[in-house]
Structure 1
Amino acid sequence: MAYIHKRSNGKWAYTVSCGIEPLTKKPKQITKSSFATKKEATSAARKVEAEVENGTFLKETKMTFESFAKDWIKVYAQNTKISSVRARSKEMKHFISVWGPYPLKKVSKQIYQKRIMELSEKYSRNYVSGIHACCRMIFNHAVELGLIKINPTENTHLPKYQVKVEEIESKKEKIKFLEKEELAQFLRITDSNGLDMDSLIFTTLAYTGLRIGELLALKWTDFDEEKGSLRVTKTLYNPNNNIKGYELLTPKTSGSIRTIRIDERLVKMLKRHAIKQKEIKFQKGPLYVDNQFIFARDDGHPQLRKVIETRLKRLLKKADIDKNITPHSFRHTHTSLLIEAGVGVKEMQQRLGHTDINTTMNIYAHMTANMEEKASHQFSKLMKDLL
């Protein structure tokens, strides 16, 4: 039976007995105050008694959102790549900045939906979807630990983004790649004007479709000269472009682990590079940190992505190519050349390391659409010249 009493401040309170605490062997009680009337306190006490009797009572935590979120990210990090942990930590901050000192149990569905609406006004739907997924995991963990009763993120509706006609018409193509003639021009300039390893790096990217992290993680044990292949088993993670602050992680997906056949030209380039690298090792002696990286700096550490991006801009300017090309653009360039060469979608999926065939199909559809548009323009130009 609940004990209902009036406090000195004029508010009503209840105390409900919950049996004996297993560890301390002492009586366990639940007390709550601040009720305006005795009737309200009695009603609330009856609900608690019913939950205790049914075994469904849960005493929610007083822990703040920030405190619990930081505990959760530590657990999440135990079985997740550091790159994913870094992304989740950034997403988490969108809620900590607003609810930091707020009790975890006080975050209601209404409060959560309001925050999602605010974020959707600032960021893309895809990014907000990632933020939502992060917070859903945080609250799911709290429910699993018995710290809160309800996950406030459940059944939350992400706002629909209505694209205007003007936006569609003015929207630039997201996938950037070099046309066959542009690639040939770029590689010629790279051969004649490139700095150390530039020609090998950009030729490898264009001829294999490797992700930049996969390329930088390649070691000499991944290169099979006789078979003419490169084995992809890892990716280099170095978000701060620190010479020594890198990590080797498993590839993006399970399908990313693959063996890529390469042509004779690239095999010869790699063999020449191996000879040159041995000379550098001999010259540097103990100063060379030999971790067997193919694309190593003169000190043995893997080349920095930032350096490659800077050199790429320099070479694009020299080649007079006015496109926003990044190292990843060579992956799309490789895809477009595979399509033009008549390579099947399944073979493309395996070569590019896509676990999901839909990823390959989406890129394939985009690339073929670009080619169809190019063909239409070429036909139109031909007819104008004739007429």
Structure 2
Amino acid sequence: MFTRQFLKKEYNATKNTLFKNIVYLKNFFELLYGLGMIQHNPMKNYPNPYYECRIIDRSLSVDECQQLFQAALQADPFVRKYFTLLLLMTTTALRNREIIQLTYEQIDFDRNVIFVDKGQKTTAQVVYMPDSLDDELKRYLQHDAYEKWRKSGRHEVFFKNNRPLTKQSLNKFIKELCKKAEIQKNVTARSFRHTAAYLMQSNGIDITIIKLQLRHKQLSTTLRYLPPVDATKLLNDTSPDFV
């Protein structure tokens, strides 16, 4: 009740904003309860009198990720450029423009980070790379195909048909790969940012760490990227390692 009154009085919040914040708080406390950090969810039976708005889950499941990785390897088994691109998208949560404009110089293999200073809504920060991505990027960037691209004067990490990726070509590539993988849902480059958040959540990573990786200013923004889950599953998650 206090939260609703505060948002109404101090911020003149709309019904849509009030509804979403109640949903986010319920999910957040359910996550804490499932991880054993609190003894009960104080928001469990809290009424939400505002209209229901559809919360879209844009993330891909582990099985769908596996299908896409297999399709990427079949499409490019030697250079493995497409596989590396998908792995980067599902683990770093980079934004579309950050992926397109990513350069060799931004990657720090010594610290296992990518320095992000290019792209829409981007301030200079870092994102962390898992060892699997570190290994794949090293192999890909040492491949003759990439060396030839770099010696031509280009600095972008990813390209297609001897041209730098664009938002359109990136999403076209994703749709083609989804067709090969027989995935019916509408998947865009943005879906992988949601997927990265979901995969981190599914593996029990603290929400504050997810927030840092996605580089959100507010925790409430991060919660929008996480689909409602049974938080108790996080303690016993045995999902296979898809990379």
**TM-score, L = length of structure 1:** 0.42
- Offset, 1:296: 3.8
Does 2:153 match 1:289?
Answer: yes
Q: Which of 105, 117, 126 is the matching residue for 1:233?
A: 117
Letter in 1 for 2:206: G
The 5-angstrom pairing of residues 300-319 of structure 1 reads: 302-319=164-181
Give me the whole-angstrom Cα distance separating, in 2, the residues matched to 1:362 and 1:311: 26
Alignment RMSD (CA, Å):
2.7
Distance in 2 separating the partners of 1:217 and 1:262? 17
Q: Secondary structure at the match of 2:115?
A: strand
How far 1:357 moved relative to its partner?
2.1
Looking at structure 2, the residues matched to 340 and 204 of structure 1 have their Cα atoms a distance apart, in angstroms, of 18
Contact 1:229 1:261 in 2 (8 A): yes
Report the AA paired with residue 182 of structure 1.
Answer: E
Deviation sequence 1:39-71 (CA, Å, 0-9, x none): xxxxxxxxxxxxxxxxxxxxxxxxxxxxxxxxx
Shift of 1:206: 0.6
Structure 1 runs, 4 residues or longer, greater than 4 Å off: none
Q: Which residue of 2 aligns with 1:219?
A: 103
Matched, 1:192 2:55: no
The aligned residue for residue 263 of structure 1 is: 130
Aligned to 2:93: 209
Q: How far apart are the structure 2 equivalents of 1:346 and 1:184?
A: 27
Distance in structure 1 (CA, Å) of the matches to 2:141 and 2:223: 37
TM-score, with length taken from structure 2:
0.65
Between 1 and 2, higher relative CO (CA 8 Å, sep ≥ 6) is seen in: 2
> Over alpha carbons, which structure has the higher Rg?
1
Residue 58 of structure 1 is matched in structure 2 by: none
Q: How far is the alpha carbon of 1:329 from its aligned partner?
A: 0.4
Instruction: Please tell me the residue identity of whatever aligns with 1:289.
Output: G
The aligned runs of 1:1-387 (5 Å cut-off) are 173-194=55-76, 197-235=81-119, 251-252=120-121, 254=123, 257-276=124-143, 277-282=146-151, 288-290=152-154, 292-297=155-160, 299=162, 302-364=164-226, 367=227, 369=228, 371-372=229-230
Residue 232 of structure 1, CA deviation: 0.9
- Count matched residues: 181
1:75 maps to none
What is the alpha-carbon distance in structure 1 between the residues aligned to residue 172 and residue 218 of structure 2? 32
Q: Counterparts of 2:204 and 2:84 in 1: how far apart (Å)?
A: 26
- What is the CA-CA distance between 1:302 and the residue it aligns to? 2.9
**Contact 2:116 2:122 (C-alpha < 8 Å) held by counterparts:** no
Indicate the SS of the match to 2:225.
Answer: helix
Q: What is the SS of the residue equivalent to 2:147?
A: helix
User: 1:304 and 1:217 mapped to 2: Cα distance?
Assistant: 9
Tell me, in whole angstroms, the C-alpha distance in 2 between the residues paired with 1:207 and 1:303: 19
% identical aligned pairs: 22
Contact 1:220/1:293 (<8 A) preserved = yes
2:177 is paired with a residue of what secondary structure? helix
Q: What is the CA–CA distance in structure 1 between the aligned matches of 2:104 and 2:122, rounded to whole Å?
A: 22
TM-superposed CA distance for 1:297, in Å, is: 4.9
CA drift at 1:279: 2.9
Cα pair 2:100 2:165 within 8 Å, conserved? yes
Shift in Å at residue 210 of structure 1?
0.9
For residues 125 and 153 of structure 2, the distance between their equivalents in structure 1, rounded to whole angstroms, comes to 27
Please tell me whether the aligned partners of residues 198 and 225 of structure 2 are also in contact (alpha carbons under 8 angstroms). no
CA distance in 1, matches of 2:195, 2:150: 34
Shift of 1:322: 1.1
Q: How many Å separate the matches in 2 of 1:190 and 1:297?
A: 14
The one-letter code of the counterpart of 1:184 is: Q
C-alpha contact (below 8 Å) 1:253/1:355 kept by paired residues: no
Could you tell me how far apart the structure 1 residues matched to 2:224 and 2:175 are? 28
Q: Do 2:93 and 2:196's aligned partners in 1 also have CA atoms closer than 8 Å?
A: yes
> 1:298 deviation in Å?
6.2
Partners of 1:298 and 1:318 in 2: how far apart?
19
Is the 8 Å Cα contact of residues 253 and 354 (structure 1) preserved in structure 2?
no
